[in-house]
Amino acid sequence: MVSKNVLRKLSDAELDKYLIAGNRFTPEAVEVAFEILQERGRHFSEPEKEAINEMILAKKREEENRTNEEKEIWKDHVTEDPNAIKLYSRTTIIVLTVLFGTIPGSVLLFLNFLTVRRYVAAVFTLLIGFGIFFLQNYILSKGFDNHIRSRHSPEMGVIALGAIILMVISVSWMPKKLPYRSKSLIFPVILAIVMTVLLYINYKGWFSTYPFASVFRLLRDF
């Protein structure tokens, strides 16, 4: 947000810099500088006005294109094209991560990276997935009340952070705007079943901080 009061403190020479072609100021700043100079009595010829307005419009189009480009990068480019590569969708990865932690989510993303031959990213993703799991258990074993079950509980915060990290890794290291077909859900379902069994057994309390683990404890005690 451009403050007109701040720009009013600038001299005419300083404001002139906002009207130079190729400047890096925002279109809003250029527009305000133009208005202030006119308020101060600066006369602009019609060709000058047209050139400045064209520059403002060009800057606005550039900003809009940049915003659309960023949206395209974050967009999940799922397609029905039979020739497109097959990958596990971001939705599947995020759902599995939120429900069962970063390990199954990182496994799916690991397989995606192997498919597109991003081997360093694949290994890094697995390390992050397992690292967050052990970090979560370490942090939450240091005095947090694991019986707090809400969206504000520390374990849910760590799980949400893990999902965000995996999403950022996917967007940053997968080929940009890659159209793909969603892989079958058979393997993700198998992973979900395996994680459900592990949560139920809860060996050495490794999964005691997971929300589902408390549900299984209640069912066993019922």
| pLDDT tens-digit readout, 181-191 | 999 999 999 99
Residue 91 and residue 159 share a domain: yes
For the CA atoms of 104, 107, 109, 113, what is the dihedral angle to 10 degrees? 180
| Domain final residue, candidates 45, 74, 103 | 74
Query: 16, 48, 74: which is the final residue of a domain?
Result: 74
Instruction: Please tell me whether residues 132 and 206 are part of one structural domain.
Output: yes
Residue 1 has pLDDT above 80, yes or no: no
Contacts of residue 145, defined as CB under 8 A and 6 or more positions apart, other chains included, come to none
15 and 99 together in one domain: no
Amino acid, single-letter form, for residue 113: F
110 burial level (CB within 10 Å; 0-12, 13-18, 19+): buried
In a domain, 80, yes or no: no
Average pLDDT (178-199) is 92
In angstroms and rounded to an integer, the radius of gyration of the C-alpha atoms of the chain is 26
Confidence of residue 176 (pLDDT cuts 50, 70, 90): confident
Q: Which comes out higher in pLDDT, residue 203 or 90?
A: 90
Q: Are residues 14 and 91 in the same domain?
A: no
Query: Do 95 and 51 belong to one domain?
Result: no
What token pair was written down for 110? 């690991």
Are 122 and 209 found together in one domain?
yes
- Integer angstrom CA distances of residue 22 from 46, 55, 87, 98, 129: 20, 9, 42, 46, 45
Could you tell me the residue range of the domain that residue 24 belongs to? 4-74
Q: Which of 11-15, 27-31, 97-101, 112-116 is predicted with the least confidence, judged by mean pLDDT?
A: 97-101
Query: Reduced to 3 states, what is the DSSP secondary structure of residue 184?
Result: coil
* Domain count of the fold of the chain: 2
Q: What is the pLDDT of residues 135-155, one digit of tens each?
A: 877 766 665 554 444 445 566
Would you tell me the crossing angle of helices 154-173 and 90-100 to the nearest 10 degrees?
Answer: 160
Report yes or no on whether pTM surpasses 0.85.
no
Question: Is the same domain home to 97 and 204?
Answer: yes
**Do residues 178 and 126 share a domain?**
yes
Mean confidence (pLDDT) of the chain: 85
Residues 23 and 132 in one domain: no
Token output for 13: 């020479």
Among residues 74, 99, 131, which one ends one of the domains?
A: 74
Q: Are residues 181 and 91 in the same domain?
A: yes
Residue 140 shares a structural domain with residue 208: yes
